[in-house]
Structure 1
Amino acid sequence: MRQLFIPTKRTGILLLSLLFGGFVLNFIMQAASLDMNVTSVFNWISEHAWLYVFGGVFFFCVLLLFASLLPNVYTGAVIAFLVCVLLGIADYKKLSTTGEPLFPWDLMQLKNAQEMSRITKGMISPLAIVISVLIIIGLIYLILKLPKIRISLPLRGIFIAVSLILTFLFVQMLTTQHKIIKKIQYQPVYWNQKVNYANNGLLFAFTGNLRQNLMEKPEGYSKSAIEEIAKKYAALPDPAATKSPAEQPNIVFMMDEAFFDPTRLTGIKLSEDPLSFIHEKEKSSPGGFLLSPEFGGNTANVEFEALTGMSMYFLNGGSIPYQQRIVKMSSLPSIASILKDRGYQALALHPFDKTFYNRNQVYPIMGFDRFTGEKDMKQIERMSPDAYVSDMSAVKEVLKELKESEKPTFLHLVTMQNHFPFTKGVNGPNTVTAEGVDAQYKNELETYVQDTKLTDQALAYLSEELKSLKRPTIVVFWGDHLPALSGGIYTKAGWDTNPRLKHETKLLYMANFDIGKDPLGTVSPAFLGPSVFQLTGQDLPTYYKLLAKVKEEIPGLSKNVLVNESGVLPKLTEQQQALLNDYRLVVYDILAGQNYSKSLMF
């Protein structure tokens, strides 16, 4: 009976192999966070030896668990190893395209695996796919040829129990910041996740993020503090409005996927201006730049700012409010809910899968009456079978909704046409050529420029069609973030050291009534709501008066760069810091606090 619990010599060799595999796996995972630089990994290990040891033991437990669960010990270990390597590759690819590492909440997108495969098509080279297939075939061959190791059922049970207990204790110590974790030099850096992953390693940073809050509780937060803030800003007068229309106007938000002005790229000459309409239109309508909180991805965070007026500046690095917090709430004040209280209907339109970023659950919480996705649209136009729904098609859907509505309408559109990958020919032949770009990036850049030209044409069509609408209508158009073009394109343009340029997208207001033509400068998406209310002659709720005040001082508010009317803001004055402290308290109150603001500021 006792022999059932005693491992054989082969089992001992297996355990040593799995332990070695755990340390190899930890090495690979750390390499993913350090741009696959082997030298950097060895330097990291020399400085964080205990993190490497603990990580190696953790992965040993994972490999042992899977090896014990399946009848063939090799199969379980290989499956676990490959899954972990895939996570490492995902981290590396995300870092190289968006500048951000892999977060636990990113895994929520696995439910959209089919759509994700379409979005990421082109990110992995055919050679890498072939090599991966050959490796998998080789592993299967080895599994079949290696000598069978028989582990008794009781011993398997012991291995499973030990693995689960050690794994649980590791996660528990990490998420509760146990003193042992602190002694091994794990120091979370939630405000800078790239540094967090580089310093602590993919395993520790990823697991530590399981306990991360959207934002920390600000000093001085209380009901009386929110009441004082509400009283202070309620007393402010509404900013002077421009000529307001005779009736409540339609308000359209058009957030365009990965759209920026490519003519700003230094050293690149285009054969024609792809944004000829936009450049001409902003001479007679308010135009400028939107300071996006993101680069290359995380669209949901940009629309979160625009819809709620809450700045990502206050949230911990890597946060995605839609997935981490809002989906768990019963309601959240937004421009949609504010306008609904004023007699509007609130509509959302996204010509793609409705479940991405949990939009199908989040939008009703924010006050939207109806959400139209790709499958709900009656008529869809694409430039080719493999293309996303065109911006022109999305614009026509917007116009259809506005023409059919008898009530003033707020409509929020999130487009898809310009999403990565930028595959030549998908949106028709490239009609704009680019000179001054490296040959390896020429097709990619010209394809992207062609996409922006199509967007420009869709906006020209929308501008003309606004004239036929009976109800006054204002459109706010902006790009959500810069595209995830190959890094060499931005490097050659000299943008690597200029965070402002890498976060400024195009912003344009259009209307079928007089909204003036004052330039907008650089503005964060959080301040679009107050600006639209001012242009349409609507009273500002107390919350919007606070936002308008912040906008006066710091119109461009971002973790990456602060911008005012004079340019980049090197440091905050005491007055500006006090203003941001008020803003921070209100954002915390709404997102993570007791929501005293709901009855006081909206």
Structure 2
Amino acid sequence: MNPVKTFLKKHLSRDEVFLSILLLVTPLTAFYLMQFAYSGGLPWEYSLNVLLANYLCIGVVHFTLCAVTNYIVVCSILTHILCCIWGIANHYVSLFRGTPILPWDFTALGTAAAVADSYQFSLNIPMAISILLIAAMIFLLRKKLKTGRFRPSKNRLRLRVTYLCAILLCAYPVLQPNALGYLGIETDVWDQSKSYSQDGALAVFLRNTQFMSVEEPKDSSEENLNRIVSGVTDHTPAVSTDTRPNIVAIMNESWADFEDFGNLSLSESVTDYIDSLDNCIQGHSYTSVFGAGTSASEFEFLTGNSMAFLPSGSIPYQQYVLEPTASLASLLKENGYRTLAIHPGERTSWQRNQAYPLLGFDQFKCVEDMDVPLTEEHGYVSDQSSFNQIIYEFEHKSPEERLFLFNVTIQNHGSYTVENYPAEVTLTDEPGKYPMAEQYLTLANKSDEAFQLLVDYFSHQDEPIIILMFGDHQPSVEQEFLDKAYGVTQDNMTMEQYMDKYKTPFLIWANYDLPDDQIPTSSLNFLGQYLLSYAGIEASTYENYLTDFQQKLPAMTFVGYVDANGKAYSHLETNDYTSMIEDYRTFAYDNLFGGQTRHAQYYQAP
């Protein structure tokens, strides 16, 4: 007789053989179910390395459950359910914002819940099949739900040791995610969805945890920082410092300029009024996020720091702005401005209520605090209401007071699937083919109309005012529409074309004369320097450093950077700009993480 069969017959009953197989195979089948629910992935699409890595990650949960309860059947069903839920959740998050669930997202559950009602959830075929498979599994194993455990044995110690060994074996890559790299599990910071699909939604998630700590510059010493500062030029503002205008910065939710690519034919332009403005400086700036991640764009604009120096998908307001941090608000406050932030959403979204005071804002108004009648567009407070609040604040301040107002709009927020919302702007060659895009374009057109009312009002005011409006990121709409707008599919993009996914418009308008300047390219972390210069405000040493930096690299984002000739580069390459970027990293690190040793004088008003 076969010695293996003899051993099994002597030491294990038929039920225990079944339970042993179920115990060992569950992490594998649960992985297949997770990937199928997430992206429709099929078993033969994954390499042995990917299978092993995800087996270990799922196994540590499964074997722990089994060790605690010893109910193998129940634990197997529960493991499959958890993996299915994880796959489905990542699918929806990836669909709505362009990236799946990242480790830092668990600090933003409140923000996610606040906007969840605006999205439509529907099961696709892989999800429905996954749920049916779990139902079938429960049905087939229903008789073993109560009895599906290893029988009490005189040698319980052997069973416990077996469970413990399995847990320890699986736990190592979970506790040390870098070890997953030895199995070929890598994370693509530019295409997380693809990484989750190819290498496993759980293994890549754990791999991302290695980026939760911020990389310290190679040389963050005081001597090195002084060397960097010694080369900074003092820049004279572009207008007279006697002007001292009121300053309004508007970060317009999902404001993009798809018409700029020249590949769309629309029933009407969504920037008619803005394009007609006189005394207006217009251009495009690059962002570090696509489809979502508004607070990252706020952080870059207000602080001048770049997301390029922070982990993929991180949320600075919740992770790093934990003590007073230098920003445009703090600088203008030192210049005698009252600083006010307005966001017509929930107070705790992205923990703005905690971050704004640390950034130097005297006051923060959310939707509950707004003083004007509120109207909505597709379920969000309209831009017209946001801009009316700006006017209200101006009318209720004293003439002697100078105001810096930072307004984050919310009208154009995704998703763009509200039923019966009229599409007033359509594609003339393919009307109705891209309903999400047409709903978005309709909203963008309403932003243009609302901005006209704002400019008309301030055009007739005697007090000087300057207004900067910029987009925080492009919207997440149909990929086919984006391919059409860009004129190229993502798989065939050059680095310059890939950077264009992160390009949004900006404009600077004032009711006093502005220089006849052109700013063809920038990025959000540099826009503040232009605003200060055209407002006649003396910059800090750090702001002057950023002005110097952008003369060679006018755009710098998490995705990459662009030189003065318009050539785009990835952060993965080493070139003549590498040492210059490392200096920027050093300065930004001192600004954000300097703590008690931070060189505060470099970030203060002169």
Q: Same fold (TM over 0.5)?
A: yes
Q: Quick check: 1:252 aligned with 2:270?
A: no
Q: 1:171 to 1:408 in 2, by over 3 A?
A: farther
Partners of 2:479 and 2:309 in 1: CA distance? 28
- Of 161-170 and 455-464, deviating more is 161-170
Aligned residue among 330, 333, 340 for 1:337? 330
Look up the equivalent residue of 1:237 and give its one-letter code: D
On the 8 A contact 1:230/1:601 being kept in 2, the answer is: no
Aligned to 2:44: 42
Q: 1:417 to 1:165 in 2, by over 3 A?
A: farther
Partners of 1:345 and 1:227 in 2: CA distance? 32
Aligned to 1:278: 274
Aligned to 1:530: 529
Aligned to 2:7: none
Q: Quick check: 1:390 aligned with 2:391?
A: no
For residues 155-170 of structure 1, the aligned pairs below 5 Å read: 170=170
Look up the equivalent residue of 2:249 and give its one-letter code: F
For residues 292-371 of structure 1, the aligned pairs below 5 Å read: 292-326=287-321, 329-371=322-364
Q: Quick check: 1:587 aligned with 2:585?
A: no
Aligned to 2:413: 419
Which secondary structure does the structure 2 equivalent of 1:336 belong to?
helix
On the 8 A contact 2:33/2:130 being kept in 1, the answer is: no
Aligned to 1:22: 27
Aligned residues: 580
Q: Quick check: 1:239 aligned with 2:236?
A: yes
Q: Quick check: 1:558 aligned with 2:553?
A: no
Q: 1:68 to 1:307 in 2, by over 3 A?
A: same
Structure 1 residue 117 displacement after superposition: 2.0
Q: Quick check: 1:452 aligned with 2:450?
A: no
On the 8 A contact 1:171/1:207 being kept in 2, the answer is: no
For residues 112-127 of structure 1, the aligned pairs below 5 Å read: 112=111, 114-119=113-118, 121-122=119-120, 124=122
Partners of 2:125 and 2:191 in 1: CA distance? 34
Q: 1:232 to 1:430 in 2, by over 3 A?
A: same
Structure 1 residue 362 displacement after superposition: 1.8
Partners of 2:524 and 2:537 in 1: CA distance? 19
Which secondary structure does the structure 2 equivalent of 1:59 belong to?
helix
Structure 1 residue 277 displacement after superposition: 0.7
Aligned to 1:408: 402
Partners of 1:50 and 1:150 in 2: CA distance? 31
On the 8 A contact 2:19/2:149 being kept in 1, the answer is: no
On the 8 A contact 2:66/2:75 being kept in 1, the answer is: yes
Look up the equivalent residue of 1:335 and give its one-letter code: L
Aligned to 2:107: 108
* Cα deviation digits, residues 61-117 of structure 1 (max 9, x gap): 423444566797655543443232222233344445544342111123333453242
Which secondary structure does the structure 1 equivalent of 2:374 belong to?
coil
Q: 1:361 to 1:160 in 2, by over 3 A?
A: farther
* Cα deviation digits, residues 107-136 of structure 1 (max 9, x gap): 2333345324224x1253588887787677
Q: 1:194 to 1:315 in 2, by over 3 A?
A: farther
- Of 497-506 and 531-540, deviating more is 497-506
Look up the equivalent residue of 1:436 and give its one-letter code: D
On the 8 A contact 1:322/1:357 being kept in 2, the answer is: yes
Partners of 1:512 and 1:389 in 2: CA distance? 27
Structure 1 residue 276 displacement after superposition: 0.8
On the 8 A contact 2:344/2:367 being kept in 1, the answer is: yes
* Cα deviation digits, residues 331-379 of structure 1 (max 9, x gap): 2111111112222222221111222222222222222222222233344
Which secondary structure does the structure 2 equivalent of 1:102 belong to?
coil
Look up the equivalent residue of 1:589 and give its one-letter code: D
Q: Quick check: 1:377 aligned with 2:370?
A: yes
On the 8 A contact 2:372/2:388 being kept in 1, the answer is: no
Aligned to 1:434: 427
Q: TM-score, normalised by structure 1?
A: 0.84
Q: 1:294 to 1:238 in 2, by over 3 A?
A: same
Q: 1:42 to 1:510 in 2, by over 3 A?
A: same
Partners of 1:259 and 1:465 in 2: CA distance? 22
Look up the equivalent residue of 1:349 and give its one-letter code: I
Q: Quick check: 1:53 aligned with 2:46?
A: no
Structure 1 residue 32 displacement after superposition: 7.2
Aligned to 1:287: 282
* Cα deviation digits, residues 472-496 of structure 1 (max 9, x gap): 2211101111110110111233243
Look up the equivalent residue of 2:531 and give its one-letter code: V
Structure 1 residue 50 displacement after superposition: 4.0
Q: CA RMSD in A?
A: 3.6
Q: 1:27 to 1:460 in 2, by over 3 A?
A: same
Aligned to 2:539: 540
- Of 493-502 and 293-302, deviating more is 493-502
Q: 1:168 to 1:92 in 2, by over 3 A?
A: farther
Which secondary structure does the structure 1 equivalent of 2:99 belong to?
coil
Aligned to 2:598: 596
Q: 1:600 to 1:418 in 2, by over 3 A?
A: closer
Identity of aligned residues (%): 27
On the 8 A contact 1:226/1:596 being kept in 2, the answer is: no
Partners of 2:163 and 2:529 in 1: CA distance? 55
Partners of 1:158 and 1:438 in 2: CA distance? 69
Look up the equivalent residue of 1:488 and give its one-letter code: E
Partners of 1:359 and 1:165 in 2: CA distance? 45
Which secondary structure does the structure 1 equivalent of 2:80 belong to?
helix
Aligned to 2:502: 503
On the 8 A contact 1:499/1:561 being kept in 2, the answer is: no
For residues 158-237 of structure 1, the aligned pairs below 5 Å read: 170=170, 173-176=173-176, 183-186=182-185, 193=192, 197=196, 200-213=199-212, 215-233=214-232, 236-237=233-234
On the 8 A contact 2:331/2:603 being kept in 1, the answer is: no
Partners of 2:79 and 2:183 in 1: CA distance? 26
